[in-house]
Amino acid sequence: MPGSAHGQEFVQDALNFESIISKKGLQMYFGNAWYPEHWPQQRWREDVRLMREAGMNVCRIAEFAWSSMEPVESSYEFDWLEKAVALLAENDIAVVLGTPTAAPPAWLTFHHPDTLAVEANGLHAQHGNRCHASPLSTTYHKYCRRIVEQMAQRFGKDKRVIGWQIDNEYNRVDYSEYARRQFQLFLKNRYGSLESLNQHWSTAYWSQTYRQWEEIPIPIGGHNPGLMLAFRHFVTSVWREFQRIQIDAIRQHAGPEQWIASNFMGWFDSFDHFEVCKDLDLVTWDWYVGTGHHDYVETGLLHDLNRGYKRRNFWIMETQPGSVNWGGVNNMLNRGEARCMALHAAAHGADGLLYWQWRPALGGQEQLHGSLLGADGKPRPFYTEAAEIGADFARLSEAVQNTAPQAKAAMLHSFDSRWAINFQRHHKDFDPAIYMLHCYRPLIQRGVTVDVTDTEAPLEGYKLLIAPALTVLPDSLPERLQQWVEAGGTLLLTPRTGQKDRHNALFPVLQPGPLRELAGTETREYYALHEPVPIEAVWAGAETGEAHIWAEMLCPLQPQVQVIARYGACNGWLDGMPAATRLQVGDKGGQVIVLGAWLNRELQDSFLNFVLQCAGISTLTLPEGVETASRFAADGSARVFVINHTRQTVTLQTSILSLINPIDILSGKPAENVLSLPPYGAVVLRDAAV
């Protein structure tokens, strides 16, 4: 049976990385994004003093400062940046330098209009709204390489600079004629021949057959599924190459102790993040709530997704200091909510958290965005809570050095599958990200740590694998899953799993395609539901609920298959048919559970609890809105975060956390037998002996 080896490997992987970037071990980093180029230099010292008093020990600068570093072509001015770095270092604040390529200067786009991207409507992007340059433009590549080389020559060996952020929030897609020609070349290299491409894309349909590579368009709107998927792979390759140009320029001059990262955006999916992250040292993401309030389940999944891109701890490079300026309603987070969020991120493996931004520019498009200082340069009310978080991170820093989350359950995530479903949802509400959250929620609410991995990641060490809507199956995955299940693992297949191959073409067999024999079940038909259908479950006695959005008619292929749920009377087709099955595989306890329906939340909660029991994963009974999550050191000792995400006082027995004489790291006091957490309260516990 797969055991805890994976968790130990994950921690060791994190340790190996941290040894590269810090001989002293990793501390917790807390800071902000600062734009000294916006303000007179005589103001800077006061800014840095206030950062230090808030407990900040890192600052990101320069990612939008190209026009300040190269005001005219080939004339570089770095003295101001050197002064800012020096001032931060004098106050024990480390620096992350951003390359400024998300905001090219006006002289560049004016004299070289070929650097501007073309929108899907055929118009050139306009200068001034950032991210308007084409990541494909060879002219732009030249100028990006030059500014990054100049920065790296100046700061690559500077020990005050701990890392680099490449560009900012990759998002631009170029629809220019040059992009089309490059896409055609990409397809030629991928498929080798038009015969192969036409076959995989079924281009005889609607007379789409291509006889010359030059005939192939860039897809705009709905198009051939194979063409659309291939274009996303092309966009991924564009961003990876754009990123590699800058990484190479930095590495020529920087020491290995400086890490290189980029910052990503939640569920944004224009490119495959797993691929782009292969060339990075560290993953960071930008975390904004926008309208409303924090949902720890949703952001827990996003933290775990970003941790999974490289299977190691991550940073939050940007998060909101209270509010944003782009939501429908830009409400302020409640007092204490941001502290919960910061500890929640740390619990899921964040080793750094930075706020955006320090002080709003007096002009520009983000004047009303939340900030730590006001337009007058004085602390806003949120600054007080930020200082409390800074104190928390300082107390945690030594205790969580070189620790990482450790999971026995994993979700397989595939951008190909997300794209394929979003291209053809069949039901408008079948959002693959929301369905993934639907599978994740019952786990985190029971204190279960989850890794989110790609389909190429090692499977050994997990007890449970969930494949939420994994509709596109890579060629090698079925055999790997077969071996893993035969070794004792529990595999959960869900609706829309195994319908398509890697070219986004339907398999010539029914779902779950190449996994049919392993699952012992196939999907005879699928139904986008206009009305809910009843479900009668037997996994925990007689239990009833509903399916909505999606239901599949399952058909067992072997007599050993156990039907664990059936549809009730509904549309005549599904009445009495299997909705979920279970099959024991091999003699080591392996099993495959197939779920064919999008269950209502209560029944989904019961079902996932049953699946966890089948996999032998222990769970906790927690009050509503209370989260527990742990980070482990290489010796197996745990730091257990217990966070109350509600606005009410809650209590729970400390004994359920399996710690010996636990001490709260944040307060330095022994934990009571009954933890009483006030609204937005939190403790971080460890054994007294650790």
Catalytic residues: 169, 318
% helix, strand, coil for the chain, step of 5? 35, 20, 45
Q: How many residues does the chain have?
A: 690
- CA atoms of 2 and 490, how far apart (whole Å): 9
Strand ranges in 571-649 using DSSP code E only, listed in sequence order: 578-585, 590-595, 597-599, 626-632, 638-644
Going from the C-alpha of 88 to that of each of 51, 178, 282, 653, the distances in angstroms are: 9, 43, 22, 44
Residue with tokens 């291939």: 230
Extract long-range pairs of 529-532: CB within 8 Å, 24+ residues apart. Answer: 529/427, 529/598, 531/570, 532/600
Amino acid found at 240: R
Residues 337 and 647: beta-carbon distance below 8 Å: no
Nearest one of 604, 288, 657 to 440, comparing CA atoms: 604
Coil, strand or helix at 404: strand
Bridge partners of 663?
A: 670, 686
- Sign of CA pseudo-dihedral 209, 219, 274, 348: negative
- Strand, coil or helix: what is 631? strand
Task: For residue 584, list its beta bridge partners.
Answer: 591
Q: Is 415 left (phi over 0), alpha (psi -120 to 50) or beta?
A: alpha
d(CA 310, CA 277): 7
CA distances from 183 to 233, 237, 672 (A): 10, 10, 62
Give residues with Cβ within 8 angstroms of 4, minimum separation 6.
Answer: 406, 408, 461
Look-up of token digits 């999907």: 523
592 in helix, strand or coil? Answer: strand
CA distance 273 to 421: 18
Cα–Cα distance, 321 to 368 (Å, whole number): 12
Q: Which residues pair with 404 in a beta bridge?
A: 632
Give me 251's structure tokens: 């590495």
